[in-house]
């Protein structure tokens, strides 16, 4: 039976689809679509009228201050979600990858596949479509083999959590749109470029609250002190794992409350209490470069795992040069 690929741009055209992978869900598609500067596309593969796979990507504007530039980049988390036996998935992905590459390069300068659960998956397909791989790092905490998440914390990290709570900070889930907006404003103001150069608009977080918080696919943890939001974190729940997407706090103004540390601690503690197996920290950097955020999260007891990201550039001459450098 021939494979049929359908590409969706407007969210209203997407029919009900199976699946539990939040990074390739209709809910995340709607979040992207409601965020200024974001343009999602969803590729659905079907056979004989049955959905066998789906792949969600988003094209967004990326602004850099130095050197000054504005480019459009396409990002994909993972390699899609499949509803077929494993031995058929690479063949299906190969067709979806070719479709995605053709579609995305019409408007995007760069395509990036990141957060791969299996870095060896579809190696031949990526090479055939002229992608190049860059070694990367993942940091994840195992939650299923400990009684308390603090067991693997450094001793100084445990003391900081206790001091932050003792000094009056409180941590809870976001309970209103107003809290979500306050959290987004705070995080935008204090977010460090050492973690991630790009930060979405407040509409991203507001739509996140509408689409996934209520359905349990995400959570926002708010750190407060005397009624003021001073820190927080955003987690995405997919399958048996949790992904900490954003976190931060006003660590200079409220040093004694340790808001950034409490935000991460609460995310880990909640995930452990709810029976998730792992929590992964997103964007911890290249393996051959010091990264402040990676050093920060490793003190929560996580382990570094080697992985890769796949890239494709629109300019063929530059793409060929990088393919040669990273061959």
Asked if the structure places residue 314 within a domain, the reply is no
- Treating both helix axes as pointing N-terminal to C-terminal, what angle do 259-273 and 155-166 enclose, rounded to 10 degrees? 100
Q: What is the pLDDT of residue 197?
A: 56
Pair of tokens at residue 24: 């390739």
Please tell me whether residues 77 and 102 are part of one structural domain: yes
Clarify whether residues 36 and 109 are in a common domain: yes
pLDDT tens-digit map of 152-175: 898 999 999 999 999 999 999 988
* CA terminus-to-terminus distance, the chain: 36
Task: Classify strands 50-64 and 38-47 as parallel, antiparallel or unpaired.
Answer: antiparallel
What is the rounded distance in angstroms from the CA atom of residue 242 to the CA atom of residue 218? Answer: 9
299 and 159 in a common domain: yes
pTM: 0.91
Q: Are residues 167 and 295 in the same domain?
A: yes
Q: Is residue 203 part of a domain?
A: yes
pLDDT band at 243 (very low <50, low <70, confident <90, very high): very high
Q: Is the pLDDT of residue 210 over 60?
A: yes
pLDDT at 293 over 50: yes
Specify the pairing of strand 170-173 against strand 4-8: unpaired
59 and 160 in one domain?
A: no
- pLDDT tens digit sequence for 93-121: 999 999 999 999 999 999 999 988 888 89
Q: Which domain holds residue 194?
A: 139-304
Query: Is position 56 within any domain?
Result: yes
Q: Are residues 77 and 31 in the same domain?
A: yes
The continuous run of DSSP H or E covering 162 comes out as: helix 155-166
Residue 139, beta-bridge partner list: 281, 304
Are the C-beta atoms of residues 60 and 197 closer than 8 Å to each other?
Answer: no
Percent of the chain with pLDDT over 90: 63
Let me know whether 143 and 274 are in one domain.
yes
Query: Is there a domain that residue 209 lies in?
Result: yes
Q: Is residue 161 domain-shared with residue 255, that is, in the same domain?
A: yes
Q: Are 200 and 181 in contact (CB under 8 A)?
A: no
CATH code, domain carrying 108: 3.40.630
> Does some domain include residue 193?
yes
């Amino acid at each position: 039976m021939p494979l049929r690929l359908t590409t969706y741009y407007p969210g209203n055209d997407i029919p009900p689809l199976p699946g539990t992978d939040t990074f390739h869900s209709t809910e995340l598609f709607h979040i992207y679509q409601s965020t200024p500067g974001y343009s999602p596309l969803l590729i659905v593969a079907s056979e004989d009228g049955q959905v066998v796979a789906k792949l969600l990507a988003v094209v967004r504007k990326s602004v850099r201050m130095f050197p000054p530039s504005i480019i459009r980049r396409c990002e994909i988390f993972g390699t899609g979600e499949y509803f077929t036996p494993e031995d058929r998935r690479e063949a299906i992905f190969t067709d979806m990858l070719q479709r995605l590459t053709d579609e995305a390069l019409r408007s995007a300068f760069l395509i990036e596949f990141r957060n791969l659960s299996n870095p060896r998956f579809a190696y031949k397909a990526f090479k055939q479509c002229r992608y190049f791989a860059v070694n990367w790092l993942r940091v994840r905490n195992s939650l299923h083999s400990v009684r308390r998440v603090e067991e693997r914390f450094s001793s100084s990290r445990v003391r900081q959590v206790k001091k932050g709570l003792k000094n009056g900070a409180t941590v809870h889930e976001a309970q209103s749109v107003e809290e979500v907006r306050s959290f987004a404003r705070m995080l935008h103001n204090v977010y460090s470029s050492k973690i991630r150069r790009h930060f979405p608009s407040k509409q991203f977080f507001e739509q996140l609250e509408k689409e996934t918080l209520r359905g349990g696919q995400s959570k926002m943890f708010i750190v407060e002190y005397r009624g003021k939001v001073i820190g927080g974190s955003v987690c995405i729940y997919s399958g048996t794992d949790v992904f900490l997407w954003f976190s931060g706090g006003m660590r200079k103004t409220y040093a004694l409350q340790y808001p950034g540390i409490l935000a991460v601690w609460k995310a880990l503690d909640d995930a452990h209490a709810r029976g998730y197996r792992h929590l992964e920290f997103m964007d911890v950097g290249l393996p051959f470069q010091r990264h402040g955020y990676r050093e920060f999260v490793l003190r929560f007891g996580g382990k570094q795992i080697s992985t890769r990201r796949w890239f494709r550039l629109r300019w063929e001459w530059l793409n060929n040069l990088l393919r040669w450098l990273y061959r």
